[in-house]
Amino acid sequence: MAWIVENRLKPYQPTRSEPYLTASIKKHIEEKYFPRYPRKQAALLPLFHVMMHEYGFIAPEAMDEAADFLGISRAEVQDAVTFYEEFRLTPAGTYVVNVCRSISCELCGHRNVLQRIRDVFGIDPGETTDDGKITVFEVECLGACEQAPCALVNEDLHGNLKPDAFAERLRQLPAKPAQGH
């Protein structure tokens, strides 16, 4: 790819017209999180957790608005945001299925789970189903090794996965999740 020239001088493509950092999010962070730390920058992780919960991904505008709010440069915001797995820069499906691929889960057969998902939904890790319902990712150890193989579906942990039963459970998930994310 060494021949690709990325032009950083032109502005980013806007994704929506209203701000991501709404007045209510600002108020929530100002009241709950700013008093906890000596510096505003420390509220970066809590702020972006709220953003992920609300919007499911981090848009360039979100980082742009957060930079002024936290008092740091835009590049510093993106620096911190791109370091962490959980903060995705592109939208994903309604249900994000994070299948653990670390050693205990591989010992206990996570590949069978992924294969079943591939068979039933036709997606590989990193891909989303055509109807936008399910995205599958592989992640590192989820800290539930006694229930290996396991997966996080949005915020819920599913352990002791049996490939067929799990695929069936995913198929039966409602089109819209119960509340929020």
Partner 1 sequence: MAFPGPVLLKRIPDDPAQRKLFKFKDYVATGGYEALRKAMAMPPEDIIKLVIDSGLRGRGGAGFPCGTKWTFLPKDLHPRYLAVNYDESEPGTFKDRYLCDYDPHILLEGIAIAAYANRIAISYIYIRGEYHYQAKILEEAIQEAYANGIFGKPHPGTDIVHHCYLHRGAGAYICGEETGLLESLEGKRGWPRIKPPFPAVAGAFAKPTIINNVETLACLPSIIINGAAWFKSMGTPGSAGPKLYGASGHVNKPGVYEDELGIKMSTLIEKYCGGVKGKYKAAIPGGVSMGILGTDQYDAELDFDIGRKYNVLGLGTAGVIVMNDQTDLVVMLRNIVRFFAHESCGQCTPCREGTAWLHKMLSRIIAGFGKPKDFDLLMEVALSMGIGPGTTICGLADGANWAVKTFLQKFPEDFKSRLKSGQVRGVLLSSAAGV
Partner 2 sequence: MPTMEVDGKKVSWEGRKMILQACQDAGVELPSYCYHPGLSIVASCRICLVEMEQPDPKDPGKLVRVPKLVPSCQTLAADGIKVYSTSPKSVANQKAVMEYLLINHPLDCPVCDQAGECYLQDYSYKYGRAESRFEEDKDKKPKKDIGKHVVLYSDRCIMCTRCVRFTREISGTGELAVFGRGHREQIDVFQGKSLDNPLSGNVIDICPVGALLDKDFLFTQRVWFLKSTPSISPFTSGGENIFVDHNEGRIYRIRPRFNQQVNKWWISDDIRYGFKFVHENRLATISVRGAQGEQRWSKTLEQIVRTFKEIVAAGGPGSTALVLSPFDGTEEMFLAAKWIREIDPQAWLMTNPPKVEGQDQVFKNPTTGVVNYTIRAEKAPNRKGAQKVISYFGGNTASIEDLGQKVQSGQVKAVVVAVDPIAHNESQLVAALGSVPTLIVLSAHNGELVQKASVALPVCTWAEKEGVFENFEGRIQVFQQAIAPLERSRPLGRVFWRLMDLHDTYSAAEARQLMAQAGLTDYAKIALPTHQAKVELMQFAEL
Positions that interact with partner 1 (CB under 8 A): 36-39, 41-46, 48-49, 70, 76, 79-80, 83-87, 98, 101-104, 106-108, 125, 138-148, 152, 155-157
In the block, residue with structure tokens 């591989």: 106
Listed residue (45, 81, 49, 50) closest to 64, CA to CA:
81
Please state the three-class secondary structure of 48-91 as a single string: HHHHHHHHCCCCHHHHHHHHHHHCCCHHHHHHHHCCCCCCCCCC
Selected from 45, 72, 145, 157, the binder of partner 2 by CB under 8 A is 72
Q: In the complex with partner 1, which residue's Cβ is closer, 45 or 120?
A: 45
- Cβ-based neighbour number of residue 68 at 10 Å: 12
Pick out residues in 45-64 that bind partner 2 (CB under 8 A): 60, 63-64
63, two tokens: 């980082």
For the bound state, the minimum distance from the C-beta of residue 130 to partner 1, rounded and expressed in Å, comes to 23
Q: In the complex with partner 1, which residue's Cβ is closer, 108 or 120?
A: 108
Pick out residues in 75-94 that bind partner 2 (CB under 8 A): 75-79, 82-83
Residue 64 contact, options partner 1, partner 2, none, Cβ 5-8 Å cut-off depending on partner type: partner 2
146, two tokens: 């006694």
Q: Are 153 and 96 in contact (CB under 8 A)?
A: yes
Residue 95, classed as helix, strand or coil, is strand
- Which chain residues interact with partner 2 by CB under 8 A? 1-12, 60, 63-64, 72-79, 82-83
